[in-house]
Structure 1
Amino acid sequence: MEEKLEWFGEWFDSPYYHILYKHRDYEEAKEFLDNLVQYLHITEMHKVLDLACGKGRHSIYLNRKGFDVVGVDLSEQNIDHAGTFENERLHFFIHDMREVFASGQFDFILNMFTSFGYFESEVENEKAICAAAEALKPGGKLVIDFLNPYVVVHNLVPSEDKQVEGINFRINRKLSGDGYIVKDIQFRDNGHHYHYQERVKAIRRIEFLDYFRKAGLRLVEIFGDYHLNAYQKDSSERMIFIVQK
């Protein structure tokens, strides 16, 4: 019997994922990346890993700024697309972040825009952080940009409809009993009914700090938004962790 894909393996490889999220604010993302580059003092001499890079948009942007970047993602379709932009200082690979990619090779690892919290167990989360730590050079830094669970859960919109490219996406959200922010996405296209689900664990700050401690990483800073303002538990949009090996 064919093994069932984990939800992120199935949904992120679907063309509908990219249709639904086509209007994401990439200008804001570029501004965030510019702010990080300045804060971290990334130079052309450094090697950067974009962990869970999607279609590689942010890796490509960083490379165009002159940086040596590797992007990895679990989705074969994402990497096929990203690979068309490769050059001598930009490479893409299919990779599961729960496994070590390249031991001790990177000055900076960026895990952007809530590309974490997808797994079913704490052990897998810890394994992913430990794998990232293993890929860092001594003194290297890991950036994890995650949603602020306190604000997201408090402001959860139970349901909405989104019309994109003639498709009506019906989206229902809830906090599950086991602590996941669950988004059910249903729609019809070409006479077929589709149902996908996103599940992101509402990981608290204290839990991340425990992951970092177990991986031998030291907390440097927590920012609360893409302008790198200080994190405020009750009001910040994001939890952006800067940790060092």
Structure 2
Amino acid sequence: MEKQAQKKEWFDEWFDTIYYHILYKNRDYTEAGRFLDNLITYFDLSANAKILDLACGKGRHSIYLNEKGFDVTGVDLSEQNITFAKTKENNTLHFDIHDMRDIYRPEAFDYVFNLFTSFGYFDSIDENLDVIRATVASLKPGGKLLIDFLNPYVVVNHLVEAEDKTIDNIHFKISREYTDDQYIVKNISVDDHGQHFDYMEKVKAIRRTDFLNYFDANGLKVLDLFGDYSLAPYEKEKSDRLIFVIQKPA
């Protein structure tokens, strides 16, 4: 599908700002590395496996997987993210600007990883289904898709409503709310030495049953459902994550 061009969507604007990267620059990537190591073991990835990192950001996870010896392509909608990521390219590591609602390369990948809540950015069910369809189309027959999403039950029930942070002398005032019984919204107010900017993050609180409906509509088989980065079983009221392993029919 063609992305409507009349108005910038929140993720087009926010992810391409310097403030997004400043706010999240101190993330703990040790946990992410352990998660990726667990996935390598779980999938028993072969040396010739081709992996698509869908919504890759600046490519940190693609780079990590590539350093482990795998052929990885990272795609993201943010031009700035991909411009940075391309400086790290090599013969088995590539990056492209891409909208996840569109097919990237038909039947080109053995695995697609959608990591760290890079899903649920769109308002409509149709757009979420477009993401699933396009992603499945990029998989080889029998290929596997991993979707790592937040657990909406836990996030909504433990929502931190207000937070203030000062990073690099830039002040961030953050508020969170659960709206319309379906969206987790983070409003970010930035004060950069007297200059003021307002941004937003908005993720649809997609439930397990909603995901299962998406997969069923595309004839996909759910192989596993995990609840954290150590790949423990999912528990609705306790698990931090909602991690699906899905297989495309052979």
Could you tell me the TM-score, scaled by structure 2's length? Answer: 0.96
Moved over 3 A (4+): none
Q: SS at 1:196's partner residue?
A: strand
Indicate the residue corresponding to 1:201 in structure 2.
204
Structure 2: gaps of 5 or more residues: none
CA distance, structure 2, for counterparts of residue 158 and residue 180 of structure 1: 14
Q: SS at 1:236's partner residue?
A: coil
Indicate the residue corresponding to 1:141 in structure 2.
144
Indicate the residue corresponding to 1:5 in structure 2.
8
Structure 1: gaps of 5 or more residues: none
Matched, 1:115 2:118: yes
Q: SS at 1:8's partner residue?
A: helix
Q: Is the 8 A contact 1:146 1:238 kept in 2?
A: yes
Deviation of residue 129 (structure 1)? 0.6
Indicate the residue corresponding to 1:225 in structure 2.
228
CA distance, structure 1, for counterparts of residue 135 and residue 215 of structure 2: 10
Matched, 1:171 2:174: yes
CA distance, structure 1, for counterparts of residue 194 and residue 163 of structure 2: 22
CA distance, structure 2, for counterparts of residue 39 and residue 120 of structure 1: 33
Indicate the residue corresponding to 2:70 in structure 1.
67
CA distance, structure 2, for counterparts of residue 243 and residue 210 of structure 1: 13
The equivalent position to 2:79 in structure 1, one of 44, 52, 76, is 76
Q: Is the 8 A contact 2:170 2:193 kept in 1?
A: no
Residue correspondences, number: 244
Indicate the residue corresponding to 2:29 in structure 1.
26
CA distance, structure 1, for counterparts of residue 119 and residue 200 of structure 2: 15
Farther off after superposition, 47-56 or 175-184? 175-184
CA distance, structure 2, for counterparts of residue 102 and residue 217 of structure 1: 19
Deviation of residue 98 (structure 1)? 0.1
Indicate the residue corresponding to 1:95 in structure 2.
98
Q: What do the CA deviations read for 1:90-117 (whole angstroms, capped 9, x no partner)?
A: 0000000000001111100000000000
CA distance, structure 2, for counterparts of residue 67 and residue 215 of structure 1: 28
Matched, 1:124 2:127: yes
CA distance, structure 1, for counterparts of residue 177 and residue 212 of structure 2: 25
Could you tell me the TM-score, scaled by structure 1's length? Answer: 0.98
Q: Is the 8 A contact 1:108 1:136 kept in 2?
A: yes
Identity %: 59
Counterpart amino acid of residue 173 in structure 2: R
Q: Is the 8 A contact 1:133 1:216 kept in 2?
A: no
Deviation of residue 118 (structure 1)? 0.3
Q: CA RMSD in A?
A: 0.9
Indicate the residue corresponding to 2:51 in structure 1.
48
CA distance, structure 2, for counterparts of residue 14 and residue 214 of structure 1: 36
Q: What do the CA deviations read for 1:175-218 (whole angstroms, capped 9, x no partner)?
A: 01151000000021132111000000000000001111112211
Q: SS at 2:38's partner residue?
A: helix
Deviation of residue 167 (structure 1)? 1.4
CA distance, structure 1, for counterparts of residue 219 and residue 98 of structure 2: 23
Indicate the residue corresponding to 1:39 in structure 2.
42
